[in-house]
């Protein structure tokens, strides 16, 4: 079978698996958040922590609960790393340095999972599974519950209540993430992913050198790493390591995992607002953009533009031979479109335009289909913007899902859209202006060096976590700056979108008239795709011309 046929087959299988899971999984999640019944274990947790599960919260209380929970999570994860050398299963590793511990705590709590270190040489088993893996569950759940609160903002009227953060968080973790993670861990183990508490095995390389390869509870962390669109690898090579991703079948399964929740949430959205067509429209936008970037990444990598790649016969630098160009490009487009950050190849070694495609995909705000929850509410914000633009064209007060879009809503939408680009571009500018930051770039005086810095801040600001490489990020400047960008890029947009949901929830629904723009038809889908691409293109195009475009052209 040719590489092209094999590549098309795996893309087709992936789409078929997502289509099969879409209706039942999306419907199940809608029932989870609409049910008035609590499980016995949930009632026990509410009693233990003094939570009233029947108490609905305003958007402000919901946001404060989220921020408080996340702040405590940062502190606890930081302390766990700093105390590592006193803890069991530390593998004899010392405590994590303070700057790196701060950066890692901010990274995993914000669902970024940026890693400025080699995991197998820095973190013991206990920190990996009791700290990092736990945050993989909780940070993914936080993203989902914000999306659910936003959906309620559209579905409810004449109320200032969006639900209960603690109930939503508990249900997401216990009813959705944990059951899938348990079954998925067994599937990964059956495919060859490691799951043990081994301190390491001595192996002899082909050149006669000895090397210690640590084991660990890899499969149980790998499953939630992909399912929760987290991305933090147990090994430095991430999903390129054979212990994390041993074969093409496991590779396809992991791509399915990182896409399934963001895709199925569009079904949940349609069911909860009682208009499934709206969910299909949002899915259509997400799917179209994802398909376009997958095609672009695959095209640039299989063409192998460049003297070295053409001489070698393929652009295989930084890629695993067991995956090849098609599977590497498919993984890259999926991970940069979902805020996952997991990689099965080195994006820094992609062709200039192939790497630029991955970078630009993140810059869209990771809405195709986006992270767990973040993709859906990010796309809904852009849908509100699209309706507003359409309203300006025809001189009509814009409406979306029977809710008027007034000056208050547009101020929140504008702040939401401006937050991440401000953090990314300001951070990259400061880094390029500081000698200490430039000194850690391997390609200082080249467009590729700028691309490495721009990629790092884009990854941090969009809570992706993947890296271009070629940059030594474990220095005080990057640990501090990227940590701040990750937290601000995560929680400022969340507060803004919750405020937007609260504003919509208080409104009285307006009736649909002949002048109402249908937001479930092809015209609106096309307009929304245009807004996503144009807004991002105008914002980041000057920076892209200095990096990947300059290098590729």
Tell me the whole-structure pTM to 2 decimals.
0.95
Over the stretch 355-400, which tens digit does the pLDDT of each residue have? Answer: 899 999 999 999 999 999 999 999 999 999 999 999 888 777 789 9
Measure the CA angle with vertex 358, ends 352 and 364; round to 5°: 130
Would you list the DSSP string of 493-538? HHHHHHHHHHHHHTSPPPPP-TTSPPTTSHHHHHHHHHHHHHHHHH
Distance CA 498, CA 153 (A): 8
Closest CA to 414 of 446, 447, 443, 382: 382
| Whole-angstrom distance, CA of residue 95 vs CA of residue 402 | 54
Cβ-proximal residues to 446 (8 Å cutoff; 6+ apart), any chain: 551
Judged by DSSP in three states, 274 sits in coil
- Report the run of H or E that residue 269 belongs to, with start and end: helix 248-272
Rounded CA gap, 170 and 33, in Å? 11
Q: What is the pLDDT of residue 479?
A: 95
Cα–Cα distance list, 52 to 138, 166, 512 (Å): 20, 9, 37
User: What pLDDT sits at residue 513?
Assistant: 80
Strands 161-163 and 57-58 come out as antiparallel
Give the pLDDT of residue 303: 85
Q: Which residues of the chain have pLDDT under 70?
A: 1-2, 305-314, 443-445
């Amino acid at each position: 079978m040719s590489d092209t046929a094999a590549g098309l087959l795996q893309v087709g299988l992936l789409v078929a698996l997502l289509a099969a899971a879409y209706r039942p999984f999306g419907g199940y999640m809608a029932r989870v958040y609409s049910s008035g019944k609590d499980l016995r274990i949930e009632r026990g947790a509410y009693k233990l922590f003094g939570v009233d599960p029947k108490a609905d919260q305003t958007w402000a209380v919901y946001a404060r609960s989220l921020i408080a929970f996340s702040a405590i999570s940062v502190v606890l994860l930081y302390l766990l790393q700093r105390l590592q050398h006193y803890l069991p299963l530390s593998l004899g590793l010392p405590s994590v340095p303070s700057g790196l511990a701060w950066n890692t705590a901010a990274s995993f709590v914000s669902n970024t999972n940026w890693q400025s270190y080699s995991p197998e040489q820095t973190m013991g088993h206990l920190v990996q599974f009791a700290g990092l893996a736990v945050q993989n569950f909780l940070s993914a759940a936080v993203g989902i519950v914000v999306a659910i609160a936003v959906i309620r903002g559209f579905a409810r009227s004449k109320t200032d209540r969006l639900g209960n953060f603690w109930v939503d968080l508990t249900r997401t973790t216990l009813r959705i993430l944990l059951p899938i993670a348990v079954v998925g861990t067994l599937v990964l183990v059956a495919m060859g992913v490691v799951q043990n508490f081994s301190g390491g095995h001595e192996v002899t390389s082909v050149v006669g050198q000895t090397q210690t390869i640590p084991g660990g509870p890899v499969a149980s962390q790998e499953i939630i790493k992909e399912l929760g669109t987290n991305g933090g690898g147990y090994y430095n090579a991430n999903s390129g390591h054979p212990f994390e991703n041993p074969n093409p079948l496991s590779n396809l399964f992991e791509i399915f995992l990182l896409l399934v929740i963001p895709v199925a949430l569009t079904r949940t959205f349609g069911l909860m607002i009682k208009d499934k067509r709206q969910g299909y429209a949002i899915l259509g936008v997400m799917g179209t953009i994802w398909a376009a970037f997958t095609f672009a990444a695959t095209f640039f990598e299989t063409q192998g533009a460049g003297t070295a790649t053409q001489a070698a016969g393929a652009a295989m630098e930084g890629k695993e031979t067991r995956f090849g160009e098609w599977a590497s490009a498919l993984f890259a487009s999926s991970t940069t479109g979902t805020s996952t950050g997991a990689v099965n190849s080195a994006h820094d070694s992609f062709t200039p335009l192939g790497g630029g495609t991955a970078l630009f995909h993140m810059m869209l705000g990771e809405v195709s289909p986006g992270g767990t929850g973040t993709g859906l509410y990010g796309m809904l914000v852009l849908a509100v913007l699209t309706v507003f633009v359409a309203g300006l064209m025809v001189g009509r007060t814009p409406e979306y899902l029977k809710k008027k879009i007034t000056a208050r809503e547009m101020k929140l939408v504008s702040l939401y859209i401006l937050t991440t680009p401000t953090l990314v571009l300001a951070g990259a500018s400061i880094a390029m202006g500081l000698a200490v930051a430039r000194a850690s770039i391997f390609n200082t005086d080249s467009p590729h060096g700028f691309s490495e810095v721009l990629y790092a801040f884009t990854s941090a600001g969009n809570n992706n976590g993947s890296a271009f490489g070629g940059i030594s990020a474990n220095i005080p400047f990057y640990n501090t700056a990227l940590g701040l960008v990750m937290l601000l890029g995560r929680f400022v947009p969340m507060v803004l979108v919750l405020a937007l949901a609260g504003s919509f929830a208080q409104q009285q629904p307006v009736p649909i008239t002949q002048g109402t723009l249908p937001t479930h038809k092809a015209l609106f889908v096309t307009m929304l795709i245009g807004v996503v691409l144009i807004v991002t293109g105008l914002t980041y195009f000057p920076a892209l011309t200095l990096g990947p475009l300059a290098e590729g052209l």
